[in-house]
Structure 1
Amino acid sequence: MSVLPRILDLPLPHVRLSALAWGPDDGPLVVALHGFPDTAWTWRHLGPHLAECGFRVVAPFTRGYGPSDVPADGCFQVGALMADAAAAHEVLGGDERAVLVGHDWGAITANGLGAHERNPYRAVVTLAVPPFPAMAGVTPGVGEWARMIPRQVRLSWYTMFNQLPVLPERNLERLVRHLWRAWSPGYDAAEDLDHVLASLATPEQRSAAVGYYRAVARPWAVPAGYADWHRTWTAMPTVPTLNLHGADDGCLQAGFARRAAPRMPAHGELVVVPDAGHFLQLEQPAEVNRLVTAFLEGQTQR
């Protein structure tokens, strides 16, 4: 399904975000956050589907990704992303039915916000990144450990590359194209790449996207205004949580998700989606739409 969205302007306290929107203004709010290297257009299947089900879906281009602004405070810590997501709920007039959806960095943001006592969202749906506490206790067998850990180190090379000065920005287009091929093998990402490269067209935007990774390596640099939000960015969500993971994910191996599934809390569920890589919402939209819709309808009817 492909339905053209409306364009919204979200004047948040620390940054102005542009967003795509589908569905009725009086429907239960779903705020959907994208990751790297991606844009709000990653929700072009889920957004119209949920809109048909009566939900109001708003998908911001997160801070630094055009046409949203690069924040004047230059902060890309997860606490800042959480603050933006909480502020979006207020600016959009969200109520107790609202749900937060996130993929990749958006998933990290949603998991962290779902663990915070000031979280305004009833539930969270995260894709491609399980809650960190669920993965922290993963203890594969010796043989499986020997396979998974070295491979994951190889898959995660880009996180260290993005710590370098200048080079990531200069090579961002090559990096983006490579990651989409590696993370979702066999998926035709031509449309998505056009959106990503348009969103990261300026040097400032490219530095912003890379800045998410650099910020993680600088935990001491969280500004005071975001420190309280940042406090729970690696904690377990305390609200109902659905996590989806592609079986063929070339970013974070599905083996970690399968091992994390039994460690999800009673209010959480982790589902591995067959025949899907990292961008599962684009590769298997019908199945992702079904799983997310069933979860959301269950939450909003309580």
Structure 2
Amino acid sequence: METTRTVAVNGIELFLRERGEGPLVLLCHGWPELSYSWRHQIPALADAGYRVVAPDMRGFGRSSAPHPIEAYSIFDLVGDMVALVAELKETRAVIIGHDWGAPVAWHAALFRPELFTAVAGLSVPPPWRGKGRPLDLLSAAGVTNFYWQYFQTPGVAEAEFERDVTATIRGMLCGGFSDPTRSLFVPEGRGFIGRSASSLPLPSWLSETELAFFIEQYKESGFRGGLNWYRNIDRNWDLTAPWDGAQIRQPALFIAGSKDPVISDKMSGKHVAAMERVLPNLKRKLIIDGAGHWIQQEKPAEVNAALIDFLKQVT
């Protein structure tokens, strides 16, 4: 039976969903999501013999959302997971992340290999340190309207998203990153969501009840906390300089959808193709045909089977 509680870790409070007994598995969600995004994985992994813990990550849902932008660096996000393992009275864990949760998982494995003994990333490839700060490189290339850039100025994206939370969440989960034809560039004067978001039909993998849960949570929390993750992109590049060229040597798994815009652009495609350079112990690279970005919600049977097979190998 799944239980929920809130714990104090790393100077904040994290809301947790927990189920099962056995080796610890942490599930880190992305943006704009919640621990609820793992609703199909929590029971499946628990039934397979694991202690599964999925937090609302820092800034999301019922967890703390510190106001300062600087409180959302990759060190803070990984620090939350390190402190969570200690709070759970465990000494090791397998860490799994989707979307923004994937960089948290990859960096947790990179920073603390003795603690995070295996790692899986969904939708976002492992760290690939470019030649400069990501936002600086975009500007140098003449790009001014990528969504990362749109999210930088505090208050701008918040105002758009919070004006109609129902349309925002419907647009994100029913369109947005799940639509391979949708641009991740923000047209001048139109915003990120677009004007037709409220009328988008639900995909087969999402019910009105499930959508309503996300909407109600974001009406309560707002969007600032999650957007602050994006406002540390260049800062994270500076902070991780000591790990330039480092490899993640633990057993690793990568899963993504073939129609996910996050991996289908030219640069990300190169990273996916060459991720063994960062992950020398990559056990499997699973690209699920026809799936989009919300992979663990869209294709739970395939994702669960791959995760359980991986966990059986590494625990």
Structure 2 length normalisation: TM-score? 0.76
Residue 241 of structure 1 deviates from its aligned partner by 1.0
Instruction: Give the secondary-structure state (helix, strand or coil) at the position aligned to 2:263.
Output: coil
Q: Which residue, out of 208, 212, 237, partners 2:248?
A: 237
Contact persistence 1:242–1:295 (CA under 8 A): yes
The equivalent of 1:260 in structure 2 is 274
Change (3 A) 1:49 1:233: farther
Q: Distance in 1 between matches of 2:9 and 2:77?
A: 11
Change (3 A) 1:14 1:119: farther
Which has the higher mean CA deviation after the structures are superposed, 170-179 or 53-62? 170-179
When the two chains are superposed, the root-mean-square deviation of aligned CA atoms in Å is 3.0
The equivalent of 1:58 in structure 2 is 53
Does residue 199 (structure 1) correspond to residue 217 (structure 2)? The answer is yes
Residue 78 of structure 1 deviates from its aligned partner by 1.3
Q: Which residue, out of 74, 85, 95, partners 1:89?
A: 85
Give aligned-pair identity as a percent.
28
For residues 55-83 of structure 1, what are the alpha-carbon distances to aligned partners after superposition, in whole Å with 9 as ceiling and x for unaligned?
A: 01000001111211113665111111000
For residues 194-249 of structure 1, what are the alpha-carbon distances to aligned partners after superposition, in whole Å with 9 as ceiling and x for unaligned?
A: 333333335x74211111111213459x9xxxx6x895599542211111111110
Q: Which runs of 5+ in 2 are unaligned?
A: 132-137, 180-202
Contact persistence 1:130–1:257 (CA under 8 A): yes
Q: Distance in 1 between matches of 2:273 and 2:113?
A: 30
> How many residues of Structure 1 are paired with residues of Structure 2 in the alignment?
271
Instruction: Give the secondary-structure state (helix, strand or coil) at the position aligned to 1:59.
Output: strand
AA of the residue aligned to 2:111: H
For residues 133-159 of structure 1, what are the alpha-carbon distances to aligned partners after superposition, in whole Å with 9 as ceiling and x for unaligned?
A: 3x969xxxxxxxxxxx9xxx99x8321
Does residue 212 (structure 1) correspond to residue 224 (structure 2)? The answer is no
Instruction: Give the secondary-structure state (helix, strand or coil) at the position aligned to 1:122.
Output: strand
Aligned pairs for 1:106-255 (under 5 A) are: 106-117=101-112, 119-133=114-128, 157-172=146-161, 173=165, 174-180=167-173, 181-185=175-179, 186=203, 188-189=205-206, 190-202=208-220, 205-219=222-236, 232=243, 235-253=246-264, 255=269
Which structure has the higher relative contact order (CA within 8 Å, separation 6+)? Answer: 1
For residues 113-135 of structure 1, what are the alpha-carbon distances to aligned partners after superposition, in whole Å with 9 as ceiling and x for unaligned?
A: 111146511101110111123x9
Q: Distance in 2 between matches of 1:209 and 1:99?
A: 24
AA of the residue aligned to 1:57: V
